[in-house]
Every structure is written in structure tokens, then in C-alpha cells.
Amino acid sequence: MLTALAFFTLASRAGAQTTEARVTVVSLAPPRVRVEGVRGAATRAWSFRNAVGGMLGLAGRVEKLLLADAQGGAVASRQLAPGEYESEREAVKFSYEIRLDPPTAANDAAHVSWLADARGALMPGDLLPLPLARARLTFKLPEGWKIAAPEKGDAKGGAAAGGEAISFAVEDAESAIFFAGADLRERVVRVRGMELRVAFAGDWAFSDEEAAEAVASIVKEHARTFDDVPRASALVVVAPFPRQATASQWAAETRGGTVLYLSGRAPTRLSALTRLGLPLAHELFHLWVPNALRLGGDYDWFYSITRERWSRRSSTCVCENLPAASARSTTSTVRSCATRGLGRRGATATPS
């Protein structure tokens, strides 16, 4: 039984406590993926994320759950609560499908997995059994799709050409964000030795090069503030909402070294670049604080200390490439946005 899992070997091959999983897009209408894999250790407790922020019931998307032991023998399970299962004996292999309809509220799409309009966000934190740490993830995408990932994959350029699978080794899979699509393209710049990849989906009033330069200028300013970069590489994804949204709407999530930014489409180049720069000045700051730090407990005090200095610097950075008249009004807007935004604990934290 569970013959679809026969290609997996036990996780000892990849190291203790490493989850191996394969995510296959089986349908776009309705949006659905199949997840198959093996955990790093056998267990009777199986958990799936059921809530992110104000969104509840995520675990209800999981269907056709099958479990097996290391030899492939079927293991029965029973549901104890939403997202919580108990197997009758220890199991290590799993197989199930997940419905990935976009959230009804457009802004929620930055925080959960979804598929729509020939693109989608894939977040292991709500796709795979928890707890989740190191993982070897393989994606089987529709033909012609590409994938932007926090780590480099084993296919050149992150392409899933011809529908072939592409794999990634991820140290902190629960905080990872992948973005895939048929129209995905990527620009790469370097900031103080850090590889900054900016991926785009959809059509915008600005060019990919203009937007990548704007993102790089913000990162450079933050790097000057901290006199360092937070990591060896980072990924920024700029994409439209999967559902209808106004031009002024945006939503973002920063996890690990990845920023996912979703936005409505502004009609002019200037307004589009401004809408891109203001929220990203805030989101990119989180590559340093708190994501590059190991802070325990309540660290609001740290935000309050850094808030004003960051606001001044980032407002200058965002305005560098804007016309003078627009820059004057944008400076006060950025400062106000930064001050309000940094006061929101958990704005970019991995959901619990």
C-alpha cells in the first residue's frame, strides 16, 4: 500500500530529523496539490497547521490522508481535532491532497499557500506535517512553470522546464516561501556580497529592472544602518493578488530570507514604484530584525529603539529615484508608515 511513496528512502540518507517530501500540482481548476513524503522519525502524532493570523480552518484543506510505516505497511489513523491526527501505531510515510483555493480576503494571500491564474505561493509551513525543520523538498509543477525559492535548487535557473521536478534542501522549511508560475522571471543583484534575487509575476507599470534597482537601494540603505547584510542570499517576490484587488491594496510576508509582496496594479510608473517602495522598506527591514537575530520573549523594546533611525534612513532611500516634488511628500509618508508598522508585533513572524 502507499505505492506512490516507493521512491522515497528513509530520512537517514539525508540526515536525522529531515523530512523528505514531494509536492505535485495535480490540478489548477480546482487548485489542488498532492503531497507525499517521509518524516525523519516515526510518530503517532500528526499535525497540520490550522490557523494563520485570523484565518482558521486551514487543516480542513487536507484530504485523503494515508500513513504507512517504514516498510510501507498501511497505518490507520483517527482525527482528534482540526489538523490533529493520531495513528494506531508509529508511522513515518505520508500521502494526502490539499485544496489550494486562494483566501477569500485578498490580503490573506500573502500568508498561506494558494494556486490561481497560472501561479501560486507554496509554503511548507501549511503544506507539510508539523513540527518541521530541515527538509528536502521536490516540486513537480505544470509544464513551463518556474519556481522562485529561498535556496538554490538542483535545476539551472530554478526552472521546471518541460514539467520536470526540481528539488531543494531547506534548513528551516517551516519558515520558507516558494513562489511558482508560468510568467515568473528573476533579476539578480549583489549588495555587499549578498545575492539579492527579485522575482516578478504579472504585468506592472514599472520595468523589472527599475523595480529590482529600487529593492536593491532599500537593502543597501538598511545594510548601511546595520553595517552588514543579514545573510548570504535573500529573495523578494513581487506578484499580483490571486483575487480581485484595488490598485491601492498590498499585503506582504517576510519569513526567513524571503519577502513575498502582493499588490494591486497601480496605473502609472511613479505611483507603482512608490507603492512598491513604501511597504518593502518595512518588510526588508525584517531580514535583519527579527529574522537575523535570536531574540527571546517580548522584544518590542528593541523595535522602539531602532524605529526612528530606520524611519529616517529608509524614507531617504525610497525617495532617491523619485522626482523631487514627489520625494518631499513621500518622505513623511514613509516615516509614518514605518513608525506604525514596526509597532505591530508578529507582522512577519512564522504563524503559530
Kindly write down the DSSP assignment for every residue of 118-139, as one continuous string. Answer: TEEEE-HHHHS-BS--SEEEEE
pLDDT tens by residue, 128-185: 999 999 999 999 999 999 999 987 777 544 444 446 799 999 999 999 999 999 999 9
pLDDT value at residue 17: 82
Alpha-carbon torsion (87, 89, 90, 92), positive or negative: negative
Q: What is the DSSP letter of 156?
A: G
**Regarding beta strands 62-68 and 74-75, do their DSSP bridges make them parallel or antiparallel, or are they unpaired?**
antiparallel
* Residues of the chain where predicted confidence (pLDDT) is lower than 50: 1-16, 156-162, 304-305, 307-308, 311-312, 315-352
Tell whether 201 and 82 lie within a shared domain.
no
- Do residues 166 and 147 touch, judged by C-beta distance below 8 A? yes
Residue 75: how many CB atoms within 10 A of its CB? 20
For residue 7, which of 20, 17, 16 has the smallest C-alpha distance? 20
Alpha-carbon torsion (188, 148, 284, 109), positive or negative: positive
3-state DSSP helix/strand/coil percent for the chain, to nearest 5? 30, 35, 35
- Do residues 65 and 84 touch, judged by C-beta distance below 8 A? no
Looking at 155, 181, 207, which one is the last position of a domain? 181
pLDDT value at residue 116: 94
Tell whether 207 and 329 lie within a shared domain.
yes
- The CATH number assigned to the domain holding 256 equals 1.10.390.10
CA distances from 238 to 47, 185, 262 (A): 31, 10, 6
Beta-carbon contacts of 207 under 8 Å, excluding residues fewer than 6 positions away, are none
**Regarding beta strands 77-81 and 84-99, do their DSSP bridges make them parallel or antiparallel, or are they unpaired?**
antiparallel
8 falls within a domain: no
CA distance 47 to 228: 38
pLDDT value at residue 239: 97
Residue 79: how many CB atoms within 10 A of its CB? 13
- The CATH number assigned to the domain holding 32 equals 2.60.40.3650
Looking at 135, 166, 181, which one is the last position of a domain? 181
- Do residues 315 and 291 touch, judged by C-beta distance below 8 A? no
Tell whether 176 and 264 lie within a shared domain.
no
pTM for this entry: 0.81
pLDDT value at residue 292: 75
CA distances from 172 to 72, 92, 289 (A): 27, 20, 17
CA distance 314 to 132: 34
Q: Which residues pair with 108 in a beta bridge?
A: none
CA distance 317 to 217: 6
Tell whether 170 and 213 lie within a shared domain.
no
pLDDT value at residue 242: 97
317 falls within a domain: yes
For residue 204, which of 264, 153, 249 has the smallest C-alpha distance? 264
Q: What is the DSSP letter of 103?
A: P
- Do residues 102 and 239 touch, judged by C-beta distance below 8 A? no
208 falls within a domain: yes
Domain containing 232 equals 186-342
pLDDT value at residue 333: 38
Residue 226, exposed/middle/buried by CB under 10 A (0-12, 13-18, 19+)? middle
Tell whether 190 and 177 lie within a shared domain.
no
266 falls within a domain: yes
pLDDT tens by residue, 150-163: 877 775 444 444 46
CA distance 147 to 155: 10
pLDDT value at residue 152: 75
SS3 of 296, please?
Answer: coil
pLDDT value at residue 278: 86
13 falls within a domain: no
Tell whether 69 and 113 lie within a shared domain.
yes
Q: What is the DSSP letter of 159?
A: B
